[in-house]
Amino acid sequence: MNNSVYDTVVKIGSMALVHSKDGDLDYNILSRLSKALKPGMLLVSSGATEIGRLDYINRNGQEAKGDVEDIKTDYSAQGQTILIKNYRRFINPSYSVRQLLVEHSHFNDDEKRDHILKFLLRAPEQNAIPIVNYNDPVSSDENRRMELKALGSNGQRVVECVDNDETASIIAMLVKARKLVILTSVNGIYRVRGDESTIIREISGSTHEELEANVNEAISFCSGASRQGANGAAAKLKFTLGPAKLGTHVYISSAENRIADILDGTAPSTHIYLKS
């Protein structure tokens, strides 16, 4: 793991990027995160669909009308431009920014996966920061389900990437990142939902089996999700297992906290790792 070109993969969720009170981008969070990024870091960013929806409403005074899947496609395509524009606005101008839109098929095909890996490995050497998101505009739920069913028909493990938490986990494993930081709307995983005093600061194990058992115990405390369509804290924990078993240190924390403070323990988080 020590020879990885990626020190940190960061994932930020939709609700962490949107200011709940006024339904707009939280520019404080976006600016703070963007300024912390540098070559050797990679960002997986949700938010395109929700931000596109809000932008559409602001410009048209109402929601778009029509088929739900079509509207999701339209919102996502509209939101992608806003996300990248704002990340570029706040990231250090001496660094290049490169957008990578992925689909589940890219990680279930050896040739496509290798192509993505080579692209990502070149970026730090070229002073560039990749920003990754699922390519919603070209993948409807119905087509995705059919493709995933076909891929899994021979019994092989299938990467779905329906949730960007899974996308971030897959990317972290692909590039063998030393750390994975999952930014959300809360400070970590709680034994009692919403009770800060019950935050689980560490989930670890000396073996893969012990780590998985401890992660599963923490999953039992989780319920609900921050928004419709999200899978919540339980899914976040489930997807941490893959990279953690490979030696990546995973942190779940609030997007209100600085990356550096999360990593040095100054800010509260749930830290998941395999003991060496």
- Cα gap 213→61, rounded to integer Å: 49
pLDDT tens-digit series, residues 8-62: 999 998 889 987 677 788 999 999 999 999 999 999 999 899 999 999 999 999 9
Residue 14 included in any domain = yes
State how many domains the chain has: 1
| Domain CATH number, residue 18 | 3.40.1160.10
Report yes or no on 38 lying in a domain: yes
In-domain check, residue 2: no
- Its pTM stands at 0.88
Decide if 271 contacts 201 (C-beta within 8 A).
yes
Answer whether residue 116 shows pLDDT above 90.
yes
Range of the domain at 45: 8-274
Flag whether 1 is in a domain. no
Provide mean pLDDT across the span 76-104.
94
Residue 144: pLDDT band with limits 50, 70, 90: low
Residue 3 inside a domain? The answer is no
Report the phi/psi class of residue 56: left, alpha or beta, with left for phi > 0 and alpha for psi in -120 to 50.
alpha
In a domain? residue 244: yes
Q: Is residue 176 part of a domain?
A: yes
pLDDT tens track for 91-101: 999 999 999 99
Burial of 228 (0-12, 13-18, 19+ CB in 10 A): exposed
